[in-house]
Structure 1
Amino acid sequence: MIDNIELFKIASLMSNNSFRSCNCINRSNGFDMLLINLLEAIASKNQVYNIQNVNINGNISKSGESCNLAKELDTVNSIHNSHKLKISSKNEDINTKIENAISVASKKYGVDEKLIKSIIKVESDFNPKTESSAGAKGLMQLMPENCRDLGITDPFDIEQNIDGGTRHIKEYLDRYHGNVEMALMAYNGGPTRMMRRGVRSLEDIYLMPKETQKYVPKVMKYYKG
């Protein structure tokens, strides 16, 4: 591509030739026209250069900056995939059972599959045999009283646990008018504790235990990721 210095060199040569060959008295007018043409050429060149540097957001980049579209797309994809949920059990049969149970429960109760997966990821990391020190059991970490209320006879059974856990979060989603964060707060910290501590919105989460304060954004990270 011809740069500005080269354009000035061309202009200089053209002006010298013009003065040598022209016998008219109006040489200054000819030189003025040459300068105008030169400036127009420079402006046109810069416009093309800037258009070539349009970035992926549709903004004209500053002179000298380059737009590496492939690199930016790789960055976007890596951020998107960093929170992508995969059922991580080493046993493929268990993975299939979990996937099927999530799909069935999602359709049965009208709860987003990704939300169910996100809860399971944080609660048990897809280990159906997990049991906490507090007594919460299985994939969705159901407490004994939850199992009793939900009619679950074996909390370590994949289908029973996911069905019960999905029904449980659905109750909270209905209670809090579809507010996912509030439903998660109740799922982890309990609705009674929320009422007792005066929690009326997500902004009041600081009133809940530290575990719940960490739990809600952690699940949401996977859910929105």
Structure 2
Amino acid sequence: MSTKRNKISNARRLLFFAALIAFIVGMFFLLRELLFPKAYVDIVDKYSQQYGISKDFVFAVINTESGFDTEATSDVGARGLMQIMNDAFLWSRKHLDVIHTDITYDDLFKPEYNVEYGCCMLGYYFDKYQSYELSAAAYHAGMNKVDEWISDGIINPDNFDAGDIPSKSTRHYVNKVITAYKAYGFLYD
């Protein structure tokens, strides 16, 4: 009788642990999708490759900027998934190698165009600074501001520390994007 009870008890324990593991795995995937979602994967893959930047970095910027809301508009007028400002849009059209040059600022609510322009800018910043941290800082504060911080010796691109960024909002933004970038790499790769 005791042996039968032990077998039943062992079977219950095994069943409990199997259910617990299934629950933990399920929660992992649920939390991953809630906190670090991936959408527009084909578009992000296409333009991150074209402009030579990590797709995980692009997902991190989109997640931080808009939470994947294509209709997002900031208080200062930034639009779409990657929250592109009109002046950045116009500068990109004039100075960078974007494919779609016949679109308007209103078209930036369309994921294809928004991600193309955002990746083009991020790729330009990455080519210039060779750092995702400095690229994120330039995306948030503007390239001229980052160049000013470098020329004034406030930040050192060869030994960069986000804590050296004088703007609290840009420092917070860079930390948030880089944390998300690392999370995307860990959770999906």
TM-score, structure 1 as length reference? 0.56
1:200 equivalent to 2:156? Answer yes
* Deviation, structure 1 residue 115: 1.0
Distance in 2 between residues matched to 1:112 and 1:131, nearest whole Å: 25
**C-alpha deviation, 1:204, in angstroms:** 5.9
CA distance in 1, matches of 2:128, 2:172: 22
Query: Runs of 4+ in structure 1 displaced over 4 angstroms?
Result: 74-84
Report the alpha carbon displacement of residue 205 of structure 1 after superposing the two structures with TM: 4.2
Displacement of 1:77 in angstroms is 10
Please, which of 191, 195, 217 is the counterpart of residue 175 of structure 2? 217
1:19 alignment partner in structure 2: none
Structure 2 alignment gaps of length 5 or more: 1-19, 94-102, 184-189
> 1:80 Cα shift?
9.3
Greater radius of gyration (CA): 1
Specify which of 77, 80, 86 is matched with residue 37 of structure 2.
86
Mark the CA change 1:217 to 1:80 in structure 2 (over 3 Å): closer, same or farther: farther
Residues 3-82 of structure 1 mapped to structure 2, 5 A cutoff: none
What residue number does 2:86 align with? 144
Q: Deviations over 1:74-116 (max 9, x none)?
A: 98997898566213xxxxxxx4xx2221121122122211111
Secondary structure, counterpart of 1:212 in structure 2: helix
Structure 1: distance between partners of 2:162 and 2:171: 10
Aligned counterpart for 1:183 among listed residues 135, 138, 145: 135
Which one of the candidate residues 54, 59, 63 is aligned to 1:112?
54
> CA 1:83 to 1:208, structure 2 compared with 1: closer, same or farther past 3 Å?
farther
Aligned partner of 2:3 in structure 1 is none
Query: Larger helix proportion, structure 1 or 2?
Result: 2
- The 1:123–1:204 alpha-carbon spacing in structure 2 relative to 1, beyond 3 Å, is closer
Give the RMSD, CA atoms, in angstroms.
2.8
Q: Name the CA shift for 1:209/1:107 in 2 (closer, same or farther; >3 Å).
A: same
Q: Is the partner of 1:169 in helix, strand or coil?
A: helix
State the match for 2:126 in structure 1.
Answer: 173
State the shift of 1:161 in Å. 0.4
Number of aligned positions between the proteins: 147
TM-score with structure 2 setting the length: 0.66
